Structure 1
Amino acid sequence: MSTGESAPRATVAELEAMYALAIAAAEFHPDGVVTVDAEGVIDFVNSRAETVSGVPREELRGRRLAEALPFRDMQGRAWWDFADPWQTLNIVTGHRERMLVLPNGCTVLLTAKYMRHPDGSVLAVILSMRDAAGRVRAERAMADLLTTVAHELRSPIAGVTGFSGMLLQHWDRFDDTDRRTMLRTIKGDAERVSRLVSELLDVSRIDAHSLRIRPRPVDIEALFTAQVSRQIASGQEPDRFTVRVDRELPEVWADPDRLDQVITNLVENALLHGSGTVCLEAESALMPSGEPGIRICVCDEGEGIPEEERELVFSRLWRGGSTSGTGLGLFLVRGLIQAHGGVVRIGERRGGDGAMIEALLPANVTANPGSWAPSRPPPSPAVAEAAVRAAARPPSTSVAR
């Protein structure tokens, strides 16, 4: 009988010892820690909890949990009304991370552990709090992206539905020239939608490291020429573009569709954020490994990109204060170039002001078509920069305007 009575007392002693040890270590914990005694009164608050909650420790200690930390969930419900440890079933041992808000506006990620006696009554409650600002920013950025994508889709979709409706209802009123103009507009708007959807899919593939390329010989000058032709057809002035291509470029194996996507994003970035002449250049270069490669560069005559932002521009959703675009263009450029085993960097235009974005690509890509995967991480920025500087020599060029 005595053995049966001593077991509960030993278990309680162990729980109390664990609780005391948790309190002793909590001050050094990177997360906010709040402990609550069996009566529901806060008896310990570490310094991080004070920072995360925005409430001084002196105002928390000695007060009842529901009064000191009146959390509400994201639907506005009082959290302790349905998550009170003293009112839940005695088999409940806590709850997983939840995003909650305090009356002072602080948003926290709260996790709870309920320590119970053998009879199920509460011995203590340990709360762990993390600052939710980072997650809130990420969710806000995603919401902004969805808003931007919806805005970018609305205009071309309106064009497609508008012109197609006019053609269906009033086909006989238009001559062949008008019909071709409307159909070209519909085609262009549909291509814009298709491109945006493709970019969103590519972003997810880059994040998942599942981007596939299908390398084959590529004519860089032909890609440049086609790009300039498309920009002129969309309304840009012909004399705004200059193309310079090294006469002795090595044979380049790359995915032509992906490389054209890179060039398109670079040129549109220069047109959107830069000014003056947009120059497209390609020349022989050496990769950081010493292997032969090519340097593809697009530069403009605008204000340039501040040095402190030159890595940030490759971040997903970075728009640098601009209200146009999705903020995915340069993120995709870096991902696509790295998928080819290359590197991308930003510098200043030679001989003047303006931004210069350049990519080093290996002359040959030995991956099996359709099954490319990175075999090693991209070289460090310092190594890449040294290679680019070594390759920055005046090329033998042909010039087309």
Structure 2
Amino acid sequence: MASQRPLPPHAATAMPVGQMAELLPDGLVVVGGDQVIRFVNGEALRILARTREDLVGRPVREALPLADKTGRDWWEHTEPWDGLATRTGHREKLLVGPGRRDLLVTARYVRSARNRGVERVLLGLRDAAARQRAERDNATVLATVAHELRAPLTSVTGFTNSLLRRWDRFTDDQKRLMIETIQSDATRLSRLIGELLDISRLDADRLTLRLGPVDLEDLLRRHVVRHELSRRGQITLRLGDRARAAGVPELWADADRLEQVLFNLIENASLHGGGDITVTLDRDGPEPAGVLVHVDDTGDGVRPEDRERVFDRFWHGTDTTTTGLGLYVVRGFVEAHGGTVTVGDSDAGGARFTVRLPANMPAYVPDRT
């Protein structure tokens, strides 16, 4: 579609009505008092997949048959020209048009004076396919979230009820196991809710970064220690050749968001990577150098055709044990910092996730003492 330039002052009053109708984002069909189609704009022709000759000058009931989802003829049911004189039209309704095409139709009745006959019927048309896809996507999101919330909630409520009602019947070891399970599932719930809030901020472009100097090497070492203390597996942290020679640049970034990026990538490698994880930290690019992070695993890897999709919201391939949120959040946070994240093949045979972050240090950093 050609770009629409701003109109000069008073141009709207001088522009013919037909030209103005072509600027509308929705389809417009104008039907006269004789029930013959008088005008159709270009968007309506696109939505209906018809030519102007198919519609203009023809009776509307023949050229533009409309029915509701039960198959009832919409024109016969509404009778715009023969109904009550006080009616002004109909709100948007999902109807079936020519070619069994789903349409969102709005009707407005135009009269020359109150209580006079209808001289024109203005139909506003929208393609229903995009809205229906959005509604299906929303339903999928709600079903996924409900499923992910239900599992840990069932565990938490089940164990707490058992402990409250039969405390004296359990041994100390049994109580400890149940409380540890409750804590683990509560942490999982908290993380899931946090990811959902992050996704809503990313989708609404309302993500706020609290920027400051970040030592990514120190952040990674502390994260690796916590990971190993939680008995989640062994991680090897190493520095690349350039980092060993010249050090790792300090970043100007949001430490909490970067920690979430590292956590999600390592968690993903733990779940899908076969056990052994190697995190490599290096300098990236010429001066001023950025930071390069590789997270390698020894799992089955990611198929080339899925390497873009793994960062999509709620995508988890054939694995139904994960939410499909973690990598979506990773990409959103990394791109918010002006960086990139990609996935390829690891030398160890599994997947390699690569994060590139610019240093982004400001020319002047206020004295924080």
- TM-score, normalised to structure 1, is 0.68
Q: Distance in 2 between matches of 1:177 and 1:110?
A: 65
Q: Distance in 2 between matches of 1:228 and 1:77?
A: 66
Gaps of 5+ in 1: 1-16, 368-401
* 3-state SS in 1 of match to 2:153: helix
Q: Match of 1:243, as an amino acid? A: L
* 3-state SS in 2 of match to 1:243: strand
The structure-2 alpha-carbon separation of the partners of 1:273 and 1:63, relative to structure 1 and needing over 3 Å to count, comes to farther
Q: Distance in 2 between matches of 1:355 and 1:83?
A: 63
Contact kept? 1:344, 1:357, Cα under 8 Å: no
Match of residue 335, structure 1, among 329, 332, 335: 332
Q: Deviation string for 1:80-129 (max 9, x for gaps)?
A: 6469465365583x566x35131765322334454433565322223232
Q: Deviation string for 1:318-364 (max 9, x for gaps)?
A: 4446544333222211222233x241231423536543222223446
Q: Deviation string for 1:210-239 (max 9, x for gaps)?
A: 323444645222213323544x34xxxx35
Q: Distance in 2 between matches of 1:115 and 1:166?
A: 68
Corresponding residue number in structure 2 for 1:351? 347
Q: Deviation string for 1:148-179 (max 9, x for gaps)?
A: 11100111001101111111111112222221
Q: Match of 1:107, as an amino acid? A: D
Match of residue 34, structure 2, among 39, 42, 47: 39
User: For 1:84-233, what aligned pairs fall within 5 Å after superposition?
Assistant: 84=80, 87=83, 92=88, 98-102=92-96, 106-118=101-113, 120-214=116-210, 215=212, 217-218=214-215, 219=218, 220-230=220-230, 232-233=231-232
Contact kept? 2:90, 2:107, Cα under 8 Å: yes
Q: Deviation string for 1:281-325 (max 9, x for gaps)?
A: 2222248xx433322222334554455654444333444465443
Q: Distance in 1 between matches of 2:156 and 2:300?
A: 36
Corresponding residue number in structure 2 for 1:265? 264
Q: Deviation string for 1:124-156 (max 9, x for gaps)?
A: 223232322122112211110110111001110
Q: Match of 1:166, as an amino acid? A: S
Q: Match of 2:176, as an amino acid? A: R
More off after superposition, 30-39 vs 137-146: 30-39
* 3-state SS in 2 of match to 1:280: strand
The structure-2 alpha-carbon separation of the partners of 1:77 and 1:279, relative to structure 1 and needing over 3 Å to count, comes to farther
The structure-2 alpha-carbon separation of the partners of 1:18 and 1:210, relative to structure 1 and needing over 3 Å to count, comes to closer
Q: Percent identity?
A: 40
Q: Distance in 1 between matches of 2:83 and 2:62?
A: 13
CA apart distance, 1:188 = 0.6
* 3-state SS in 1 of match to 2:283: strand
The structure-2 alpha-carbon separation of the partners of 1:41 and 1:262, relative to structure 1 and needing over 3 Å to count, comes to same
The structure-2 alpha-carbon separation of the partners of 1:43 and 1:320, relative to structure 1 and needing over 3 Å to count, comes to farther
Matched, 1:299 2:296: yes
Q: Distance in 1 between matches of 2:197 and 2:150?
A: 19
Match of residue 242, structure 1, among 236, 247, 252: 236
Q: Distance in 2 between matches of 1:261 and 1:133?
A: 36
The structure-2 alpha-carbon separation of the partners of 1:212 and 1:198, relative to structure 1 and needing over 3 Å to count, comes to same
CA apart distance, 1:203 = 1.2
Q: Distance in 2 between matches of 1:217 and 1:189?
A: 31
The structure-2 alpha-carbon separation of the partners of 1:221 and 1:284, relative to structure 1 and needing over 3 Å to count, comes to farther
Gaps of 5+ in 2: 1-14, 364-369
The structure-2 alpha-carbon separation of the partners of 1:45 and 1:331, relative to structure 1 and needing over 3 Å to count, comes to same
Contact kept? 1:59, 1:68, Cα under 8 Å: no
Q: Match of 1:194, as an amino acid? A: S
Q: Distance in 1 between matches of 2:214 and 2:179?
A: 33
* RMSD of equivalent CA atoms: 4.1
Q: Match of 2:223, as an amino acid? A: L
* 3-state SS in 1 of match to 2:120: strand
Which structure carries more relative contact order (alpha carbon 8 Å, separation 6+)?
1
Q: Match of 2:133, as an amino acid? A: R
